[in-house]
Amino acid sequence: MSSSGKSKNFTILHLEQRYSRIRLIGSPDFQKLWQQEEMTQTPQEAQKRLELLLTYLNMPEELTGQVHQTQQILAHFSPNLTPTDPFWDQLSALIQACYINLEHIPYSSFNRQIHQLRYLLSTQQIEWVRSQYGKKGETDADALAKYLATLEDDDYNLYESSRYHNKVASILDASGNHQAVYTDNIPQSNYKILIHFHSEFILSESGQFLVALDPENLTRNSIVNGSSFNYGNQNDDLHRLLDIDPILLFDPAFIEETTHSPEATFLVPDLEQQGDKHNPIYSRNGKSSKQLTRAAIKKFKKLLHHYQSTITKTQTSHKQY
């Protein structure tokens, strides 16, 4: 082959590699291109940019919950895309621009994909935490606590309501009394941790990440009570428009079928049920659902303080030497 032919092949290979890097969500090449785009002014411009993102991800019209589908999509994310990366704020701002001034989001294939993307983003984030901080013999709670210990206190919130992630079903026993049915037949509470509000982590009391697309440890609790990325910035009407109301219209069928199965329908406690320590379904051992969740958070907070202390001791030791 002539030198000109080799040079041409090298150029083509280089362009192909750069093209692949640009399409890897969160990579330096992707970020450079993403940030060069002008600030979006109209919903139409925002939608075009979001459609390009969906194309990069090869996002299907419907998430099935099958591991191979999830892993194929996750492969389009950079392994270095952290839950605190500015990309998440930028993406959320783009979503907000797309749906500005709407009272409700109408049905369309695009809107359904954008909603279901929230489950993918949450899965990417728990997998990142596991890959960076997970350790054999330890729980997901350990991994998340280690990660949070590296952040500033105002980066995360341990006390956002997790009411929507503590669904329980009920049946009537032989005596005609209501009996609670937990998703995995384990009486336990789930709790929520947010990073910059957008990045949502739901953990079971036993320390497992809960997300409906978990490629490593999928349970019924993961599907029914799992996390999803928040497009809103805080608990307000915009959060309801983008993150809560679309659930009924756009949730993946496999989540809907698991939550409302013939054997049991898992329901969110209302505010009164959540705070009632005598509720036959949502309370346990004389404690309300809200109290039980607070106790689980308190346990996690002790774990977090342990890892924060470990980091402090390590830093002090290094300074001495």
pLDDT in tens, 213-244: 999 999 999 999 999 999 999 999 999 999 99
Amino acid making up residue 231: Y
Residue pair 242/231 in contact (Cβ under 8 Å)? The answer is yes
Q: Where are the alpha helices (DSSP H) in 226-288?
A: 237-239, 246-250, 253-259, 271-275
pLDDT in tens, 82-121: 999 999 999 999 999 999 989 999 999 999 999 999 999 9
Distances (CA, A) of 136 to 31, 142, 143, 263, 310: 33, 11, 10, 35, 19
Q: What is the mean pLDDT of residues 252-266?
A: 95
pLDDT of residue 15: 44
**Pairing assessment for the beta strands 190-195 and 199-204 based on DSSP bridges:** antiparallel
Describe the chain by its helix, strand, coil percentages, rounded to 5.
50, 10, 40
**Domain boundaries defined on the chain:** 1-36, 41-320
Q: What is the mean pLDDT of residues 248-276?
A: 96
Percent of the chain surpassing pLDDT 70? 90
Q: What is the mean pLDDT of residues 51-80?
A: 97
Amino acid making up residue 144: L
CB-based contacts of 65, cutoff 8 Å, min separation 6 = 212, 213, 218, 223, 252, 254, 255
Residue pair 243/119 in contact (Cβ under 8 Å)? The answer is no
Averaged pLDDT of the chain: 92
Residue pair 163/268 in contact (Cβ under 8 Å)? The answer is yes
Q: Which helix (H) or strand (E) holds 235?
A: none
Q: What is the mean pLDDT of residues 50-79?
A: 97
**Rounded Cα distance, 95 and 83, in Å:** 17
pLDDT of residue 174: 81
pLDDT of residue 30: 92
**Rounded Cα distance, 226 and 184, in Å:** 13
